[in-house]
Structure 1
Amino acid sequence: MDCDRSFSINVQQLQQRFRSLQRSLHPDYFSQRPQLELNGVELAKGTDSDIDVEFLKEIMEINETLAEPNNEAKIEEIESFIEVKREELTKDVSKAFERDDLQEAKKLLAKMKYFENLEDKVKSKKNPS
């Protein structure tokens, strides 16, 4: 993408480069190519097997709490917890990119996805359709 390999990047520069590449490349040209790989780390593979068991237990407990009826106070607590964890993970991902530790960045980004899913569940509990 012709920008520094970092989690914190110049968004405007990235958008301009993306538009330029978008005009010159089309996904159909590359549909038969192997999965995306960066420095030997396959990014497109599932990452659940890389996540530690304690983390998965924590996520399950939060999901169980969210499933309980009449738990408004707990939902607020979970929402705050998710915000703190997201900030921590964002910093950790940035540091992993700075160290060029793509395997660690991959694991951390998978964890971020779990918290994103939890955040969606919290929002749907707070604002049921």
Structure 2
Amino acid sequence: MALRYIITNVGLKSNIINHCRYISCWSCGTNNVNNLVVNLFCSKCNALQQPGTNISYFKIMGVSETYDLDEIELAKKFKELQKYLHPDKFANKPKQEQEISEKYSSLVNEAYKTLLEPLARGIYMLKLKGKEIPENTEVDQEFLMMIMEKNEEVESADSDEEIMKLNNENKTIIKDLQKKLSKAFFDGDLKTVTKLLSKMKYYTSIDNQIQSVIRNKGIIR
């Protein structure tokens, strides 16, 4: 059975690319046509095709373009894709196909990493809307003072109980911001999205600081 059909049967049909109607296989020259959908592999020779341009990470991973994506589904799609696209699978293939595999594998890794992280996912979705978080986004002084205090609390935390309490509190705040972001994206309120992402950057920074302390202390959660 041809590899392209095997992939469809294991659930990777959603990971095919839909950026053009025709694409010529670099290996055999076959025009692969399938109702505006181009398979990852050539329909004739099964050679891995070049990744299309300007394809969103959501389409690459085969998941819905929503802030509330299913992380378990995302991880499953990631494993499925890497199972077929990992460079080790192409060690005995022509050099060009090996290079395409490396490019695809790197692209899938970047897509997975971006969509998995709440902050990175939000920033990416905002970018898809043609917007970015301005470097000079206004944040009120009261909020900044609170962030400074949180950082100081993390730095001065001595016991495991203290750092885990701060960890739980910060995680709760980030989850609340995620809920608000989901609604703002759904409503198309990009102004609110920008403000929420700006705040999430600070809390994500605190989270990174806390996780570093947890690792260094060897705290078992």
- Length-normalised TM-score, structure 1: 0.65
How much does 1:53 deviate? 2.3
If you compute each CA radius of gyration, which structure gives the higher value, 1 or 2? 2
Percent identical among aligned pairs is 24
Determine whether 1:83 maps to 2:143: no
Cα distance in 2 for residues equivalent to 1:81 and 1:74: 11
CA distance in 2, matches of 1:59, 1:71: 21
Equivalent residue letter for 2:68: S
Q: CA deviation at 1:83?
A: 1.1
Q: Deviations over 1:60-98 (max 9, x none)?
A: 111011121624332111101111111100000011111
Q: Could you tell me which amino acid in structure 2 is paired with residue 125 of structure 1? A: V
Amino acid at match of 1:46: E
Paired AA for residue 75 in structure 1: I
Counterpart pick for 1:45 among 134, 143, 149: 134
In the alignment, the residues of structure 1 paired with residue 193 and residue 157 of structure 2 have an alpha-carbon distance, to the nearest angstrom, of 36
Quick one: distance in 1 between partners of 2:168 and 2:210?
Answer: 11
| Bigger relative CO (Cα 8 Å, ≥ 6 apart) | 1
C-alpha displacement of 1:43? 0.6
The one-letter code of the counterpart of 1:97 is: F
Q: Secondary structure at the match of 1:127?
A: helix
Matched residue count: 108
Unpaired runs of 5+ residues, structure 2, are 1-55, 82-103, 108-126
Residue 144 (structure 2) pairs with residue 56 (structure 1): yes
1:97 aligns with 2:185: yes
Task: Give structure 1 stretches of 5+ with no counterpart.
Answer: 23-35
Distance in 1 of aligned mates of 2:187 and 2:157: 44
Deviations 1:36-64 (A, max 9, x none): 6846xx415225x3222222221111101
Q: State the TM-score, normalized to the length of structure 2.
A: 0.41
Letter matched to residue 45 of structure 1: P
SS at the partner of 1:50?
Answer: coil
